[in-house]
Amino acid sequence: MNRRTTISFAECTARERLALLVDANSFHEWLPPAQRVTSTHLAQLGVPSAFDDGVAIGHAQLAGRTVFIAAQEGEFMGGGVGEVHGAKLVGMLRRAITGTERPHAVLILAESGGVRLHEANAGLIAVSEVMRALLDVRSAGIRVVVLIGGSNGCFGGMGIVARCADWVVMSDTGRLAMSGPEVIEASHGVQEYDSRDRALVWRTSGGKHRWICGDCDVLVEDDVMAFREAAIAAISPDGDSSQPRPATLITLESLEQEHALLTARLALLPDHVVGDEAVALWKLYGLGNAGDVAEMNVESLLTQRPTGSQI
Amino acid sequence: MTDIPVGLETLRFVFAGHRPTGVFAPVLVGVVGSGNLEVLLEPREGSGCELHIETSARGFGSIWEAVARDFHERHQLAGIRVSVNDMGATPAVVSLRLDQAVTELVL
Amino acid sequence: MNWNELATALFGSDHTIAQEGDFLTGTVQFDGGPLAIIGTTNHAPIGVRLALKQARAVLDTVAGHPGCPILLLIDTQGQQLRRRDELLGINRAMAHLGMCIDLARRSGHRVLGLVYDQALSGGFITSGLIADACDALPEAEIRVMRIPAMARVTKLSEATLTALSKTNPVFAPGVENYVAMGGVRRLWNGNLQEALRAALSDAPTEDTRALEGEQRGGRNLAADVVRRVLAAA
């Protein structure tokens, strides 16, 4: 089998990921860096701005299909969503519905700590505007795919936004959660969550765990081409249809199903299990070799059939 | 005692350029992360090479000047604006990033 | 004001809103029609369990009471900061609650939020901020994060953040800042029943908060950036 060279998705900048994910040279950026659409809130705190306020947005081709795409730069302010950053995402999402060209799908390469704390209130409102706009896109029948693989993970309000999408792709390097381990440790102590225990952090929020539980739909290796293939698969309809693969509509039925799944999960892990809760949960999801998950590569793990997506 | 930060330092250097860059699409390299910087190259009217720097690392004006001069010595570009957002990169990283940007310039 | 005082002032002392731990639920009559009440108290930390309780109440309203408006009574310290909740996907449970409220909105239920004490972060994103509109009592506070934790993450000192919280609208937790930024629609300053009546009668169905922030002068960039993206070549 031909083993091509992998390019680490985690080690790429947002722009590098974007450029490599879409069809070559097909990315057209809206509000590019030269337009200097930047935050006005940072300089007063002695923090430099970024010309694109940490997110690149635009349209591109993916396997010949038009998509709208955004890539968050995790190295700038932890990928935090500020007023301008959030508005760029909202603009892209709105344009998908109201613009002259309807994309096959909207892709978000998410790497973010959530609300940009340096913009506090403005960031909090911005995140919720992104969430509303994303749900509008789905309501209009356009698929939203979130791809998570940056080393900063996808946390906070963006962790909520990610789970509002139709489809989530993660690498084992990626993390998806709400509160960061440091914040939990600061709040309830190191016994509660040792933020420096990397293995624990990844058992709690990493791609493998999320895949086993069904919180991400696809698990890939930390490889840009693997993300590209997963993105293409995510937007491709079954068969030879040239029509876009529609969004999964959110209905009372679908939410009742989701509710049942999450309620069952809550009941699944007995309260008295402490310590190795992740491994216990994976066993309950049908993984006979749950204790080996941490050492398993993605390829091996994918041969397992966990029951996390079923009720 | 409050210590609201005093803001960024802004620096500007203009040199007489020699190698015209002509019209080109803006080039962006780097990321504004800790110890890092982003560099944006754009065409500029006239024959000067202008460097415009915003940095959170205050008080290093003379080092920036030296780095800027060295950069201009190496490339001698004319009709270009080099804009930098810096978050405390070392002079070596700054020079690297500036050169990297020029490499990406399709002249 | 505690939730029961608020509920009594709005609906009378015989309101049937029940408190179960930190969770509030009930259906009241207001201006001759039913109003579903869903909320939290005791500055509730929202874990998976409480997020699902609230979601259940929203789903029951959508399934069982077509067209019934929903009032979210908000008093929360944000998401529960426990590893177990993270393991079990609190972000997914919160997204689910948000999507339930969003479905209610799209299914003909007007959803209003009212911050009657405090709201933080994830607890607010999945309540007031996903409603048609969110109002607040004048003494309420809304924050992203408590200052000590914020200091750790931002590396700005607690003293700096405390000072900014007093002087800078982006940091100040008072709800009047949220009104100026468009995040909160209006404050309930006078008669509470009048305020609820007004809120129910003019709840928007589109997200106009960025425009309101621009009109009110509290958020000067967002609406313009959105317009620019829509118009970009």
Tell me A13's DSSP state.
-
Determine the residue of chain A that is closest to B29 in CA distance: A15
The reply to whether C199 falls in a domain is yes
Domain membership of residue A201 (yes or no) is no
Chain B interface, Cβ < 8 Å to A? 4-8, 26, 28, 31-33, 36, 38, 40, 42, 54-56, 83, 85-87
pLDDT at B5: 63
Q: Which of residues 41-70 of B touch C (CB under 8 A)?
A: none
B4/C162 CB distance under 8 A: no
**Cα–Cα distance, A23 to B2 (Å, whole number):** 51
Domains belonging to chain B, first-starting first, are 9-103 (3.30.230)
Residue A222: burial class (beta carbons within 10 Å; 0-12, 13-18, 19+): buried
- Domain range for residue A137? 14-176+216-245
Report the relative pairing of strands B27-30 and B37-43 from DSSP bridges.
antiparallel
Q: How many Å is the Cα radius of gyration of chain A? A: 19
Q: Residues A79, A111: contact at Cβ < 8 Å?
A: yes
Residue C214, in any domain of the structure: no
Q: pLDDT at position A239, please?
A: 65
Mean of pLDDT values over B6-21:
93
Which residues 66-95 of C have a C-beta within 8 angstroms of A?
Answer: 79, 81-95
Task: Give the model's pLDDT for residue A166.
Answer: 96
- Domains in chain A, number: 1
Domain that holds residue C109: 3-204
CA distance C47 to A179: 11
> B22 versus C58: which is more confidently predicted?
C58
Give a yes or no: residue C20 inside a domain.
yes
Do residues A243 and A236 touch, judged by C-beta distance below 8 A? no
Neighbours of B75 (CB within 10 A): 19
Q: Closest by alpha carbon to A108, among A160, A65, A175, A168? A: A168
DSSP calls for B46-101: SSEEEEEEEESSTT-HHHHHHHHHHHHHHH-EESEEEEEEESS--HHHHHHHHHHH
Residue A24 CB-density burial (10 A; 0-12 exposed, 13-18 middle, 19+ buried): exposed
Residue A198 · residue C99 · CB < 8 Å: no
Among C216, C218, C217, C213, residue whose Cα is nearest residue C226:
C213
Q: What residue ranges of chain A have pLDDT lower than 70?
A: 1-3, 239-241, 311
pLDDT of A86-114, one tens digit each? 999 999 999 999 989 999 999 999 999 99
CA–CA dist B101, B99 (Å, integer): 5
In a domain, C142, yes or no: yes
> What is the arithmetic mean of pLDDT over C73-100?
97
User: What's the rounded Cα separation, in Å, for the pair A10 and A81?
Assistant: 19
Q: Is residue A163 part of a domain?
A: yes
The answer to whether residue C43 is domain-embedded is yes
pLDDT of residue B1: 42
Q: Residue for token digits 């007063």? A: A44
Global confidence as pTM: 0.97
* CATH number, residue C63: 3.90.226.10
Is the distance from CB of C70 to CB of C105 less than 8 angstroms?
Answer: no
Residues of C in contact with A192 (CB under 8 A): 82-83
- How many contacts, defined by CB atoms under 8 Å, are there between A and B? 58
Residue C3 — left, alpha, or beta (φ > 0 → left; ψ -120 to 50 → alpha)? Answer: alpha
- Residue C97: enclosing H or E segment and its boundaries? helix C90-106
Measured CA to CA, the distance from residue C98 to residue A127 in angstroms comes to 13
Q: What is the mean pLDDT of residues B12-26?
A: 95
Residue of B nearest to A49 (CA): B85
| Domain harbouring A225, CATH code | 3.90.226.10
The verdict on ipTM greater than 0.90 is: yes
Distance CA A91, CA A69 (A): 12
Whether C222 is covered by a domain: the verdict is no
**C220 located within any domain:** no
CB atoms C164 and B4 under 8 Å:
yes
Asked if residue A296 is part of any domain, the answer here is no
pLDDT > 60? residue C47: yes
Q: What is the pLDDT of residue A246?
A: 83
Residue A236 lies in a domain: yes
Report how many domains make up chain C. 1
| C118: CB partners within 8 A, 6+ apart | C43, C75, C76, C77, C140, C141, C142, C143
Residue A175 to residue A150: CA distance in whole angstroms: 8
Task: Give the mutation candidate from C77, C85, C92, C156 for the A interface (greatest A CB count, under 10 A).
Answer: C92
Looking at this protein, which amino acid is placed at residue C159?
A
- Contact flag B56-A46 (C-beta cutoff 8 Å): yes
Polymer length of chain A? 311
* Interacting residues of A275 by C-beta distance below 8 A, sequence separation 6+: none
Tokens coding A288: 């006979």
CA gap A78, C147 in Å, rounded: 18
Report pLDDT for C169. 85
Token digits of residue A147: 């791809």
